[in-house]
Amino acid sequence: MCVPYAIEREKLLQDTEKTMGTITRHYLKALCQNPDAFWEFIDNNPYLERSDIQLDRICQLFKEHGDNVDLSLLLGEDAASMA
């Protein structure tokens, strides 16, 4: 029996953390700089709720911490949940 190669989830997250973190920060910061089109998209899709989106909190983190804000803060994770 041939078993396809698979990478463990934890290894994938660790190996791609820097690259994916950089991409995530870039796009979240861009949303903070010009959120109008994003909010229009949210408002035009009835299955999406503004209350589920934490863009204001994310933008505040960029203001407080600058471009190198920790990804765990942006994603709303705390130290206990990351252990």
Is it the case that residue 76 has pLDDT exceeding 50? yes
Digit-coded pLDDT (tens) for 38-63 = 999 999 998 999 888 889 999 999 99
Determine, yes or no, domain membership for 40. Answer: yes
Determine, yes or no, domain membership for 5. Answer: no
Residue appearing with tokens 């009835």? 46
Domain of 40?
A: 35-83
Determine, yes or no, domain membership for 59. Answer: yes
Determine, yes or no, domain membership for 57. Answer: yes
Is it the case that residue 3 has pLDDT exceeding 60? no
- Cβ atoms of 59 and 21 within 8 Å: the answer is no
pLDDT of residue 1: 58
pLDDT of residue 11: 78
Determine, yes or no, domain membership for 69. Answer: yes
Burial, 21: exposed, middle or buried (Cβ in 10 Å; 0-12, 13-18, 19+)? middle
Is it the case that residue 81 has pLDDT exceeding 60? no
Q: How many separate domains does the chain show?
A: 1
Determine, yes or no, domain membership for 1. Answer: no
Backbone angles phi, psi at 31, to 5 degrees: -65, -40
Determine, yes or no, domain membership for 8. Answer: no
Closest CA to 71 of 17, 30, 31, 35: 17
Rounded to whole angstroms, how far apart are CA atoms 75 and 24?
10
Determine, yes or no, domain membership for 75. Answer: yes
